[in-house]
């Protein structure tokens, strides 16, 4: 099964694509889609849409996984902007008929590290370890996206 994890962000959207077969995980691709404030919201959302659309068309994932939306009540604008990005991603999932799952950050981290309060750096190191990557080779955005894909495999017992 091919699983696409996405860490949505208006500035940087991270993605991680894995194949799961039996007890084996294989990293297919991981990266980021970066936008600039000066290009305006519509162009930023379009860049994220086009980048993910191209990835989906080329790599043909079967499942898309996102982290459940959580933002601090003191930052309503951040929540709104993140909602725009998530809307683009959810629409892509529907348009490409991908199974869609959401998990809380705590559930993702507990699935991978056994502790729901693990740090982003611990998640990053675990992803580099699982995929036998050199330390520092993943960004926090790509490691979070990969963690979502791996967590889905764990939670659904696809493998691991």
Q: Where are the domains of the chain?
A: 2-155
pLDDT digit string, tens, across residues 46-96: 999 999 999 999 999 999 999 887 666 676 777 788 889 999 999 999 999
What fold is seen in the domain 2-155?
A: Nucleotidyltransferase; domain 5 (3.30.420)
pLDDT digit string, tens, across residues 19-56: 999 889 999 999 999 999 999 999 999 999 999 999 99
Q: Which residue has the higher pLDDT, 135 or 68?
A: 135
Q: Shortest CA distance to 100 belongs to which of 18, 21, 29, 4?
A: 4
pLDDT of residue 55: 98
pLDDT of residue 38: 96
- 3-class DSSP assignment, residue 23: coil
Catalytic (active-site) positions:
7, 67, 141
Q: Shortest CA distance to 25 belongs to which of 16, 33, 34, 37?
A: 16
Rounded to two decimals, what is the model's pTM?
A: 0.92
Pairing of the two strands 63-67 and 99-103: parallel
Tokens of 30: 């991981």
């Amino acid at each position: 099964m091919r699983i696409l994890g996405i860490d949505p962000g208006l500035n940087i959207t991270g993605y991680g694509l894995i194949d799961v077969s039996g007890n084996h995980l294989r990293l297919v691709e991981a990266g980021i889609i970066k936008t600039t404030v000066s290009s305006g919201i519509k162009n930023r959302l379009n860049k994220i849409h086009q980048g993910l659309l191209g990835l989906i068309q080329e790599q043909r994932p079967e499942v898309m996984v996102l982290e459940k939306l959580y933002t601090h009540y003191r930052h309503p604008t951040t929540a709104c902007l993140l909602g725009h990005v998530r809307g683009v991603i959810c629409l892509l999932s529907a348009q490409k008929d991908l199974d869609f799952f959401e998990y809380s950050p705590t559930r993702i981290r507990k699935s991978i590290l056994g502790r729901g309060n693990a740090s982003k750096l611990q998640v990053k190191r675990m992803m580099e370890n699982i995929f036998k990557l050199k330390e520092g080779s993943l960004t926090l955005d790509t490691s979070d996206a990969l963690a979502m894909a791996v967590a889905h495999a764990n939670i659904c017992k696809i493998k691991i």
